[in-house]
């Protein structure tokens, strides 16, 4: 018989560290740039992030609490997702600092704000991939009893894509070459990817 550690999250996990983030891992990072209605730039990483639809492409991230990124997106209806890469890891982390809303995290992390084409929010020039997005929905979470939770899922349609051509090999995007960083569990675990970890499998039929 296998011993199973089972628990109701509302009653507590009973472990040294909450395993949730280590189980649902590694997670891609939504490095989200926005601009406030007053014109202040903002940049922050969100690992509760993913792509949810192909056509139209829709991506989203979840904010625990009503953070500056969500407020700016509600104000302007726009944001940019930037690929968080290994060479940019320290800068990604620096942009997660809790700083007052008037602080520009591009400057804080020594990054260059490149103008976008379809939205006012700038993209990170140093990042090799960026999606310009228009807000589609901000959804406040409820728990299973229907009680509101202090967390918001922000979804946006991708209206412009930018890819460093060095990552396009014979017209195919090279995920390994892009060196995405992925969030693991614990306080500071991240993962990278490499060719050795890749395998192929095709759908039946
Ligand atoms: C790798 C990484 C992932 C993060 N993921 C999230 C997340 O999914 N949701 C969240 O609310 N905060 C997350 N944070 C914390 C935010 O980045 C942090 O609260 C930041 O100050 C928010 O910035 P803003 O208020 O300018 O939007 C993450 C931080 C790091 C370093």
What is the pLDDT confidence band of residue 144, given thresholds at 50, 70 and 90? very high
* pLDDT tens, residue by residue, 56-80: 999 999 999 999 999 999 999 999 9
What is the pLDDT confidence band of residue 46, given thresholds at 50, 70 and 90? very high
Atom of ligand 1 nearest to the CA of 190: 1
What is the pLDDT confidence band of residue 205, given thresholds at 50, 70 and 90? confident
Q: What is the chain's mean pLDDT, rounded?
A: 97
Within 6 Å (CB) of ligand 1, which residues are found?
A: 29, 42, 44-48, 62-64, 67-69, 93, 96, 98, 183
Atom of ligand 1 nearest to the CA of 64: 11
Spacing, Cα 190 to ligand 1 middle (Å): 14
Spacing, Cα 170 to ligand 1 middle (Å): 36
Tell me the residue length of the chain. 205
The full set of domain ranges for the chain reads 26-192
What is the pLDDT confidence band of residue 159, given thresholds at 50, 70 and 90? very high
Atom of ligand 1 nearest to the CA of 84: 1
- Ligand 1, atom 24: closest residue by C-alpha: 68
Superfamily grouping for domain 26-192: Electron Transport, Fmn-binding Protein; Chain A (2.30.110.10)
């Amino acid at each position: 018989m296998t011993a199973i550690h089972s628990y109701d999250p509302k009653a507590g996990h009973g472990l040294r560290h909450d395993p949730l983030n280590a189980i649902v891992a590694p997670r891609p990072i939504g490095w989200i740039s926005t601009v406030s209605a007053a014109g202040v730039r903002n940049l922050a990483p969100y690992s509760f992030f993913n792509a949810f639809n192909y056509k139209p492409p829709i991506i989203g991230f979840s904010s625990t609490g009503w953070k500056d990124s969500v407020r700016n997106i509600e104000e302007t209806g726009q944001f940019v997702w930037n690929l968080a890469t290994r060479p940019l890891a320290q800068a990604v982390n620096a942009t997660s600092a809790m700083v007052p809303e008037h602080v520009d995290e591009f400057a804080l992390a020594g990054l260059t704000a490149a103008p976008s084409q379809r939205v006012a929010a700038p993209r990170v020039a140093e990042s090799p991939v960026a999606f310009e997005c228009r807000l589609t929905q901000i959804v406040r979470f409820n728990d299973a009893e229907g009680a509101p939770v202090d967390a918001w899922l922000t979804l946006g349609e991708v209206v412009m894509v930018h890819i460093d051509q060095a990552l396009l090999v014979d017209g195919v995007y090279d995920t390994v070459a892009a060196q995405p960083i992925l969030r693991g569990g614990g306080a500071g675990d991240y993962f990278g990817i490499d060719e050795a970890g890749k395998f192929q499998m095709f759908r039946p039929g």
